[in-house]
Structure 1
């Protein structure tokens, strides 16, 4: 069974779920609006430039989760799914996922966004496995800390290798990876079949040079 691996943001959905969650928290006044909006914009710009310090970002992004109970967070996330995410889940992405499902492939999302934000999205897409930023939970509340290696840039390769070690029935033989971002070049260069999906300029340049397939799912 081959692995069909997908980035989430700007690949399977037409937007960035982490950035949109930040905007949503501002709209719902779950955070200090002006301060958080500036930080959210600042880190998203760094991400697009490939210069983001993931640990600084996660300290910023995960702190608001510590302020609310799991029940409150589920309520807000349900609303977030309805208002922000379902409208940008791409039909061509669903078709591509179904193609790999029909081939008997194991569907996996690896994302640099937290499991809190992305697990309901991955569930709705019907993927088999999600590797995401793991936010620590103690006494049924988020602590604001991160568990394990963040799934960002080369960290995606590390977490995938850890998963393969824990799941010996799988390998990277015949593996696919679909992404829009230059931040994912380490993993794109690891799989057998890399695909650039609506790529940023740097990824498109590399993809053309290496003769990787470039897809448009919009």
Structure 2
């Protein structure tokens, strides 16, 4: 029966396909170009990142913080800065092995979707670089566009359900429903590094712990899930 099902392959992004955390490094990058106070921003960024790794992150507070510099700078400056960020930070962090894994699934005819807790502004160009058009990311609320054409940029709030922790299950279910599909209609493989994604791993047919953190590695070993070291240096 499974052979008749549509094959769907979900990838987390940061530390799964990408050898860095794009949200965290975007924050570091904006500090380097003078958009934030270096001492205070680093303190708060490190604090949020520790909460993320511990599974205790308040995603709404974090997104307000992470988007604030771009919100204040506006669309034109932010888009230009992100292009530099892609060139200087993201591209060097995309390994041939990660590109090959995505391409292998695409060549097999699988539907590939990146599912990330990082916001859409940071991640859309990264998904495009991988050749992936389907992106489930944290969606950002925008100001209404006024009669003078002003507005339309980020408020700092999240729109809808954030694709973080159990929210990834909700957002994937929504993505399926938009295509008149249900979980039973697809055979899903999911690659992730993070214990934060345990709820989605338990929902899919083929969970793959990819460059897993210590807690996810322990769960994967206990449950017999495959473990992929995508960034392991070849000897």
* TM range, smaller chain: over 0.9
Write the deviation string for residues 86-125 of structure 1: whole angstroms up to 9, x where unpaired. Answer: 0001211111111111111111000000000000000010
| Counterpart for residue 230 of structure 2 | 217
- The answer as to whether partners of 1:122 and 1:130 remain within 8 angstroms in 2 is yes
Distance 1:68 1:96 in 2: 36
Distance 1:141 1:68 in 2: 10
- The answer as to whether partners of 1:106 and 1:128 remain within 8 angstroms in 2 is no
TM superposition shift of 1:169: 4.8
| Counterpart for residue 162 of structure 2 | 150
TM superposition shift of 1:170: 6.5
Distance 1:171 1:127 in 2: 21
1:88 matches 2:100 = no
- The answer as to whether partners of 2:10 and 2:113 remain within 8 angstroms in 1 is yes
* Root mean square deviation of aligned Cα: 1.2
Distance 2:224 2:183 in 1: 24
* TM-score, length of structure 1 as denominator length: 0.97
- The answer as to whether partners of 2:139 and 2:160 remain within 8 angstroms in 1 is yes
> Which SS does the other structure have where 2:187 is aligned?
coil
Moved over 3 A (4+): 169-172
TM superposition shift of 1:65: 2.1
Distance 2:69 2:162 in 1: 18
For structure 1, list consecutive stretches of 5 or more residues without a partner in the other structure: none
TM superposition shift of 1:140: 2.5
* TM-score, length of structure 2 as denominator length: 0.90
Q: 1:35 aligns with which of 34, 40, 49?
A: 40
Q: 1:159 aligns with which of 171, 174, 178?
A: 171
- The answer as to whether partners of 1:65 and 1:144 remain within 8 angstroms in 2 is no
| Counterpart for residue 196 of structure 1 | 209
> Which SS does the other structure have where 1:109 is aligned?
strand
> Which SS does the other structure have where 1:175 is aligned?
strand
Aligned length: 218
- The answer as to whether partners of 2:115 and 2:168 remain within 8 angstroms in 1 is yes
- The answer as to whether partners of 1:196 and 1:214 remain within 8 angstroms in 2 is yes
- The answer as to whether partners of 1:2 and 1:170 remain within 8 angstroms in 2 is no
Distance 1:65 1:109 in 2: 23
- The answer as to whether partners of 1:2 and 1:171 remain within 8 angstroms in 2 is no
